[in-house]
Amino acid sequence: MMATPHTIRAIHSKERMKSEPTVLLWTVILLLATAAVYWPGLGGGFIFDDRPTIVDNARVHAEHLDGESLLSAARSFDPGGTLGARPLSMASFAANHALHGLHPRGYKLGGLLVHLLNALLVFAVVRSVLRQLAWPRAELASGAIALVWAIHPLQVSSVLYVVQRMETLSFTFILAALIYYIKGRQRQMSGRRAWPWLMACLPLTALGMTAKESAALFPAFTFMLEITVLGFSASNPTTTRNWRWLYATGIIVAIAVFTFWTVPSYWKDEIFGRNFNTYERLLTQLRILPMYLGQILLPLPSNMTFYYDNFPVSHGWLAPPATMLGGILIAALGVVAIACRRSAPLASLGLLWFFSAHALTSNVVALELVFEHRNYFALLGIILVVADLFGRLKLPEGPALKYAAVGAIILGFAGLTAIRSATWGDPFLLATDLASINPGSSRASADLAAIYLEMTDGHPNSPFNDLAIREFERGSLIPGSSIISDQGLILTAAQAGRPIEDRWWHRLNDKLRHGTLSAETTQGMFGLLGNRMKGIELDDDHLTNAFLILFDRAIFPPQSYAQFGDYVLTVAGNEALADQAFASAIEHSSRSPDYARQIINTLRRKGHHRQAEIALDKAHEMGMLDDMTIDPSPTSPSSP
């Protein structure tokens, strides 16, 4: 006899009542265990992208939790000042600043709180999936899976690396949306009203997008759920058919957009700021994805270096040979995932979620090659695969040995994560650890040298100056290194009253001429210029020549030329070069005529009338600022 909807609801109600104590117990375990392993890391400092995004970003330094401050911070990630670039994450950093200033502990605690919430959401998502698959002891299995995900050592650089709250916060909403999606689809299968649950996925995904673009992967995650666990099922055959048509249409549109817009827009034979082209990037991902799998399955500290700026690029299928081997492995896993989607739906879902989670970052967009935080959600997929394999093991000793093995894994991961968190909790310990496990990373070297420099407390005779200079020079000699270490070397010597050797400038200039120009290059050069403007004694001929080499190789925003013009005019005393610099600033302000006007007005206010009129002539030549005349007019005290 077929069960009625009333009977089905009664069964579900009894199951919920039985599982409630287990769910409550796992909630407590997840919160306490996860907080315990990451707590030692809360004493650490800001690192890498934390500095430009938070520490040096004045617009995110809110003093009060008011709407105007949060709105300004929400716009501060995008140079264009729009609300299209991670406004929720930036506003959350502003809230941290209003509460804690620039003390990193408060920011790291905020990241940990987001991760704790996500651990509970992962528990709910996995529990829903396992119950849909009629998995035995679903609460126990989903709790263990969520715990392994939450305390995995690879997650340290997502939770304690402050700026990656963007990633973790984005997945807060995606995980919530997955819960609503599965709930809605289960209601459709039992013939109940489902649209409020399914419609809730839209605002949740939109909120996730305001944290980071990773939320755009939500449809891919749900499609993988459909082809493995849910099967497009519904009590109404028309609903099933509609789901199939909806996803088929979405796939066709996605393929068309990728083929005719994404690839033509992002495919480059040469990429500014990168030492690889698009083809090489895709080839290199064939080695990176297997590396991620290794880090997930064997998360030893030596396998997780955080900095991967020295990761070798693949230049061909056999250059190195691991590229082709990685491609074969990925293809084989893809075939297995599709082939076993009926016989082993959980393992299939796990593999497909792993690949889907990397669909943006392992594609044609010219992002950096490797980052550990890209596995924040992908990690869950591989844990599901392992859980499926564990569940299929038939041991003569019964389940006791399985439980012991899972317990040992959890304890081992907890210990490794606690150790790694403690390392992250001490800036000097972290810097020395990263430099020792990856001596070929110029970023790790620069971090360690910067720590030595901080330890001088500004004393020119401190022995830590010698350590900083030695480490900066070691980093500057690493093949393929950026100019960050060269900049640090020059500034450290200058601030300590030590002689600045010409060979340091020659090495910096050689990198500017022949090396890869990146964001670090610009940061290093304008760091030198800013310190010179503050009165640090640097050789103006060397500094000017370095900027001329830089400007000869690439086009920069107008403010870069204006800053250089201000320097050569007021410090280096080269008026002719200042004329050229301000003219270049106007030339590159065609899309920002208001900034061009600001440059001219500021030059007039400061009494630099010759440069102001040269800049105005250039603007008129370009058809801008026709309302401005040769005669100076009152201006506001702004600066270019």
- Tell me the CA end-to-end span of the chain in Å, nearest whole number: 80
Q: What is the mean pLDDT of each run of 10 residues along the chain (640 residues)?
A: 44 55 89 97 94 90 89 76 73 94 95 98 97 91 97 97 96 98 96 94 96 95 97 94 96 96 94 91 98 96 93 96 97 97 96 97 94 97 96 79 90 96 96 96 95 91 94 94 94 93 96 90 93 94 96 92 95 93 92 89 91 91 80 46
Q: Is 451 exposed, middle or buried (0-12, 13-18, 19+ CB in 10 A)?
A: buried
Q: What is the DSSP string of 61-82?
A: --SS--HHHHHHHHTSSSTT--
DSSP state, 626?
T
Quick one: how far is CA 318 from the chain centroid?
A: 30
Q: What is the DSSP string of 239-292?
A: HHHHHHHHHHHHHHHHHHHIIIIIHHHH--SS-TT-SS-HHHHHHHHHHHHHHH
The SS3 of residue 316 is strand
Q: So what's the pLDDT on residue 75? A: 85
Measured in degrees and rounded to the nearest 5, phi and psi for residue 316 equal -170, 170
Q: Confirm if 132 and 182 have CB atoms less than 8 A apart.
A: yes
Q: How far apart are the C-alpha atoms of 60 and 50, rounded to whole Å?
A: 12
Q: How far apart are the C-alpha atoms of 41 and 421, rounded to whole Å?
A: 4
Buried b or exposed e, range 355-367, using 16+ CB within 10 angstroms: bbbbebbbbbebe
How many CB atoms within 10 Å of residue 637?
8
DSSP state, 423?
H
Q: So what's the pLDDT on residue 394? A: 82
pTM over 0.95: no
- Residues 567-585 pLDDT 10s: 999 999 999 999 999 999 9
The SS3 of residue 319 is strand
Q: So what's the pLDDT on residue 636? A: 40
Q: So what's the pLDDT on residue 136? A: 87
The SS3 of residue 495 is helix
Q: How far apart are the C-alpha atoms of 393 and 347, rounded to whole Å?
A: 14
Q: Confirm if 179 and 66 have CB atoms less than 8 A apart.
A: no
Q: Confirm if 490 and 505 have CB atoms less than 8 A apart.
A: yes
Q: Confirm if 34 and 116 have CB atoms less than 8 A apart.
A: yes
